[in-house]
A and B are shown apart, each in its own frame.
Chain A
Amino acid sequence: MTHIQPSFIIKIFFFILFPVSIFISSYAFAAITQVDKLSFGTIVVLDNTATSEITVDVEGRVILTNQIRVIDLGHPAYFILSDYTIYTQLFTVASVLNAETASYNNNSQQFTLINVTTAPSVTTNATGMAEVIIGGTLQTSGNGINQYYDDTYTATIQLTVSY
């Protein structure tokens, strides 16, 4: 039967907890700041008898298919990661949370955000900062119902940053 002294346990806790708390605190103030939301701009849907797509890639280029035309160009989402460890590789994943868009007019056809893209990783600079850019592709329903009312349509995306 071994008897453990309470003071010894406290010491063990101290020696284990202290390094871990230092480890955590070094990332506790890291921040993800959104500078721009992913925007596909202002568009025209000329016809909806077949699916049409608009892509805004991470370079900011806009690619159209079929019956979509652009009035005002959109842009990719832009995030700044700050207060991370300097010169560190951060892994980034962009995902679609709500693929089908929502609009004020419920009777309108909706778009589907079929994918989002971003670089798989970024590396922080000398000040612990890095940039993340997210592009994406939006698709019309293509079901033959020409009811894309003049409105703003919104989907939800997610960015995850990890070490």
Chain B
Amino acid sequence: MNNLNKITKVLGLTLVLAASSNALAATVNSTATVEVKNIVTLTEDATLNFGSVRATADDSNVANFATLLLNPADGTLAPVATAVGTSALTSLSAGNPGTYTISDAANFTPMTLTLPAAATTLIASGVPATTPTFTVDDWTATVSGGPNDGTDAETATNLTTDATGAVTFNVGATLSTIKSAAGTATAYLDANYEGSYAIKVEY
């Protein structure tokens, strides 16, 4: 009978332990994730356009050029200074600033805008080599919309994203007739003059 008691105790203890380990706890593994998106989306909503102009080139001296400033805030065009020599540049129809939207960014976060440091040249395609070009430089940008509307987009925290992680800004610049002393330029032709430039936004 003693042996029987031992068998019973051992058996009972074994079963209780088995039940405890197998049935009283359950475990499940899972994952925790985060997505990093440090690169923002920059969309060009409107290209920088100086409209139609009447232009006269004077490449007898590199200082002989005429200019038109396109205001990024409202798109107005105005001469920067009196034309020098026989150069001339007059606006015939309205242009518009380049308009850009930053999106997919963190909300309420300042962005840094870098405009071109150098000038870009506008040329007409398929025209004689002596056809004069235009120069675009002195880039400026203003914030469009939001609490900082109209402020300099390159200054401090003006270019700050909104609650949706987006912010829009306009880019303007100064258009000039050819700056050259080559003395070979003919008259400007009625054509579209185009060039490209790069801007950068980052946190």
- Tell me the A residues contacting B by CB distance below 8 Å: 2, 4, 8-9, 12-13, 16-17, 20, 23-24, 27-28, 30, 32, 34, 37-46, 54, 69-72, 74, 77, 79, 97, 101, 111, 113, 116, 134, 136, 138, 148-163
Q: How far is the CB of A96 from chain B (nearest CB, A)?
A: 8
Chain B contact-residue range equals: 35 or more
User: Across the interface, which residues of A come within 8 angstroms of B7, CB to CB?
Assistant: 9, 12
Q: If the complex has contacts A16-B8, A16-B12, A74-B34, are A32 and B22 also in contact, measured as CB distance less than 8 A?
A: no
Q: How many pairs of A and B residues are in contact by the CB < 8 Å rule?
A: 149
Q: How far is the CB of B130 from chain A (nearest CB, A)?
A: 48
Contact, CB under 8 Å: A13 / B26? no
Find the residue from B11, B34, B36, B37 having the highest chain A CB count within 10 A. Answer: B34
Contact, CB under 8 Å: B1 / A39? no
Contact, CB under 8 Å: A162 / B36? no
> Of A16, A37, A45, A155, which contacts B36 at CB under 8 A?
A45
New contact pairs (7) apart from A2-B1, A42-B37, A157-B32, CB-CB < 8 Å: A34-B28, A34-B30, A38-B33, A44-B109, A71-B106, A77-B32, A152-B35
Contact, CB under 8 Å: B15 / A160? no
Contact, CB under 8 Å: A45 / B38? yes
Contact, CB under 8 Å: B33 / A152? yes
> Of A20, A149, A154, which contacts B32 at CB under 8 A?
A154
CA distance A57 to B135 in the complex (A): 56
Contact, CB under 8 Å: B32 / A138? yes
Main SS of the interface on chain B?
Answer: mixed
Find the residue from B16, B24, B33, B107 having the highest chain A CB count within 10 A. Answer: B33
Find the residue from A54, A69, A160 having the highest chain B CB count within 10 A. Answer: A69
Contact, CB under 8 Å: B39 / A150? yes
Q: How far is the CB of B109 from chain A (nearest CB, A)?
A: 5
User: Across the interface, which residues of A come within 8 angstroms of B4, CB to CB?
Assistant: 2, 4, 8-9, 12
Q: Mark interface residues in B85-121 (1 if CB within 8 Å of A CB, else 0).
A: 0000000000000000000111101000000000000
